[in-house]
Structure 1
Amino acid sequence: MNDTVEKALRLWGMDGAEHRVFAARENVVHKVRHEGAAYALRLHRAGYRSDDELVSELEMMEAARQAGLHVPAPVVSERGNVAETVDDVQVDMLSWLDGAPVGKSGEPLAPSCGPALFRSIGGEVARLHAAMDDWTPPPQFSRCAWDHDGLLGEAPVWGRFWENPTLNPADRELFVRLRDVAGADLAALAPGLDYGLIHADLVRENVILEGERVQLIDFDDAGFGFRLFDIATTLLKNIDEPAYADLKSGLLAGYHAVRPLDVAALDLFLALRSATYVGWIASKLNEEGAAARNDRFVARTRWLAQGYLARKGATA
């Protein structure tokens, strides 16, 4: 892989630049230093996105940046491309954003990460949505859709959560029931919901703070979707915090200070967002630590599904 990195650096005119692996989650990200500046070289996992989808992600990020949001800027290669393929690996280069993530999923938030911060995050999410509504994507723009089919159809974006092979019979029945009821509810509500381009992965690790500046990174899962999906993603990863109610109030207040959003269906999207992780982990069960993560995802979705169905009077 190091040889691939060296070849990629040459395409951006950074031959011999200092680099190190910074993150190795879905993609492998190298922090590169060249001529006094820092960059993020991303090596994308095979088969996840087409070339058009990858270029579209970068176009979306650039549109957000030009609208004043603090997001990475795509860096064009010496051949004039925002993305290249090296040794059959899709690669791109982004400007580096200094700062630190809000936190790490599964760990308690720092005391400084309170409602005031979440108000700022909510405002930034709202500005992203507003910027995307003001932007006209180019004709070849291609991204996934976190719509009804993308969440609950025959081939959801992150997999058929109700068929996760680790589910016991009771959980399988519960998740099938959730799919049926939530599917009907979403179909009825969808025409009136705010829908457009979203980030789709606003977890703690993807919100970077530099002082009071809120920066958004990792648009790898960005696409078309319900705006409540972005809100639900952020809230879901903080739902176990003792101050969750205050964090939620702060996030929504920050959002509503910028643009309106009907949050009446938020409980539905919390359950659906949780369910996506049960589908996502199903193809990764052989990875280190996956069993424990799977157990957490299933337990969280069980709790949210039971609560949602109970409120709907649809538990039987």
Structure 2
Amino acid sequence: MFVEGAGSAEDLVADRAIKEYAFSRDAQWRMINLSENATYLVEDPGTGTGGILRVHREGYHDAQAIESELDWLDALHEENIVDASKVIRTADGRRIVTTEVSGRTRHAVLFETMGGLEPDEAGICANDFHTLGAVTARLHSHSKRWRKPAGFARFSWDWTNTLGEAPRWGRWQDAVGIGTNEIATLEPAVELIHRRLERYGQGPDRFGLVHADLRLANLLVDADQVNVIDFDDCGFGWFLYDFGTAVSFIEHDSALPRWQEAWLSGYRTVAELSDEDEDMLATFVMLRRMLLVAWMGSHSHSQESRTKSSSYAAGTCELATRYLDSDGSSLERTDFAR
């Protein structure tokens, strides 16, 4: 039993939300992850049911934006595009539970538990990225042709809202480990990212609704079944930004060129990519890396920030130097140093 005042605001939201579903009084829940949102595993021995409850971070999405995410998930299911998270409705048919905690509006959504395990980051192989590339292409192809319902509203991952005047995850300049020397290295790289994105443009074949966090950690693989989870960051951005997200936190690995080739190979089994598209991949990796610098600075509670932020700035400067040396076309080492 949850006692108000004994846990976090997220715990209180979770406790209230679970009561809205058709669980028995024996239902139990526990937090399994705290990152952008708080995620809880729900198990009900009384009914043999359960799910994954996502308690949304305060102020990140309003109810309309969350409903829009769920609209896309419904469409993906109906058209059999990918195996993605399925929403469990409340006892009275709602997809979202909304409650007030300390005078603030909070939202929660319950999803069915999906089978499979995420690929082990310590043992990533090229085939993992081939699979991810094909999944990404299926999502992009659907996004380009899907007629969105009236009222569909998701935020944008354009320049203004990434590294521009209104950065969604905060200013990279204010992040942990960023000082005068780091800024001197990173600012030219950010300027080059901006120039290349402006030249690339935001035509409908290049910019649209994307998952925006489509990395291996958000795939659950069970034999031949590949389940896609965590559409919480989905919004309007460059399609190839999804490759930048695919290598989040591992952009520095010397295997990046092999992973990129495998991702491209998988993607091209479903949809075409031009040489110009391929030439932009390093830019989207660097864009994502800079966003993650900012994200860890504004999400000090996250596991990634606690374990990686101390060295992440230095690694980002090394990548930025490679990026600048190649005029934005590559992040590969040129000295073969290890």
Using the alignment, how far apart are the partners of 1:121 and 1:77 within structure 2? 32
Q: 2:278 aligns to what SS in structure 1?
A: coil
- In the alignment, structure 1 residue 147 sits paired with structure 2 residue 158: yes
Q: Given the superposition, is the C-alpha separation of residues 288 and 91 from structure 1 closer, same or farther in structure 2, using an over 3 Å criterion? A: closer
Q: CA deviation at 1:114?
A: 1.9
Moved more, 119-128 or 187-196: 187-196
Counterpart CA distance in 2 for 1:117 and 1:229 is 18
- Give the alignment of 1:63-102 within 5 angstroms: 63-68=75-80, 69-88=82-101, 89-102=106-119
Contact map agreement 1:274 1:297 (CA 8 A) in 2 = no
Question: Relative to 1, partners in 2 of residues 1:289 and 1:173: Cα closer, same or farther, differing over 3 Å?
Answer: same
Unaligned runs of 5+ in 2: 1-6, 329-338
After the TM superposition, list the runs of 4 or more consecutive aligned residues in structure 1 that deviate by more than 6 angstroms: 286-289
Identify if the C-alpha distance between structure 1 residues 42 and 234 changes in structure 2 by more than 3 Å, giving closer, same or farther. Answer: same
Gap regions ≥5 residues in structure 1: none
Contact 1:277 1:297 in 2 (8 A): no
Aligned to 2:335: none
Cα gap change, 1:218/1:150 in structure 2, threshold over 3 Å: closer, same or farther?
A: same
Residue of structure 1 equivalent to 2:314: 299
2:25 is the alignment partner of 1:18: no
8 Å contact kept, 2:176–2:313: no
Task: Encode CA deviations 1:66-90: one digit per residue, 9 max, x unaligned.
Answer: 2321111112222322111134331
Number of equivalent positions: 307
Residue number in structure 2 paired with 1:233: 245
Superposition map of 1:174-213 within 5 A: 174-191=185-202, 194-213=206-225
Change (3 A) 1:165 1:289: closer
| Structure 1 position 140, deviation (Å) | 1.6
Give the Å deviation of 1:292: 4.9
Contact 2:13 2:55 in 1 (8 A): no
Compute the displacement of 1:165 (Å): 5.9
Indicate how the Cα distance of structure 1 residues 22 and 156 shifts in structure 2: closer, same or farther if over 3 A, else same. same
What fraction of aligned residue pairs are identical, expressed as a percent? Answer: 27
Q: Equivalents in 1 of 2:291, 2:15: separation in Å?
A: 36
User: Residues 274, 155 of structure 1: CA spacing in aligned structure 2 closer, same or farther, 3 A cutoff?
Assistant: same
Structure 2 Cα separation of the partners of residues 163 and 19 of structure 1:
36
Match of 2:60 among 48, 51, 59: 48
Cα distance in 2 for residues equivalent to 1:5 and 1:268:
39
Matches within 5 A, 1:101-140: 101-104=118-121, 108-109=122-123, 113-140=124-151
Among candidates 236, 244, 248, match of residue 224 of structure 1: 236
Conserved 8 A contact 1:148-1:187: no
The reply to whether residue 170 of structure 1 matches residue 181 of structure 2 is: yes
Aligned position for 2:226: 214
Q: In the alignment, which of 231, 235, 259 is matched to residue 271 of structure 2?
A: 259
Secondary structure of 2:83's partner?
coil
Change (3 A) 1:158 1:118: same
Tell me how far 1:266 sits from its aligned partner. 0.7
Q: Tell me, in whole angstroms, the C-alpha distance in 1 between the residues paired with 2:107 and 2:262.
A: 38
Alignment check: 8 A CA contact 1:162 1:175 kept: no
> Counterpart in 2 of 1:159?
170
Task: Give 3-state SS (helix, strand or coil) of 2:42's partner.
Answer: strand
Q: Which residue of 1 aligns with 2:333?
A: none
1:281 equivalent in structure 2: 296
Tell me the C-alpha RMSD between the 2 structures.
2.3
**Alignment counterpart, residue 269 of structure 1, candidates 261, 267, 284:** 284
- Following the alignment from structure 2 to structure 1, what is the Cα–Cα distance between the partners of residues 301 and 54? 24
Give the letter aligned to residue 28 of structure 2: E
Note the C-alpha offset of 1:301: 2.1
Question: Per the alignment, do residues 241 and 275 of structure 1 end up closer, same or farther by CA in structure 2, a change over 3 Å counting?
Answer: closer
Instruction: Show the counterpart of 2:70.
Output: 58
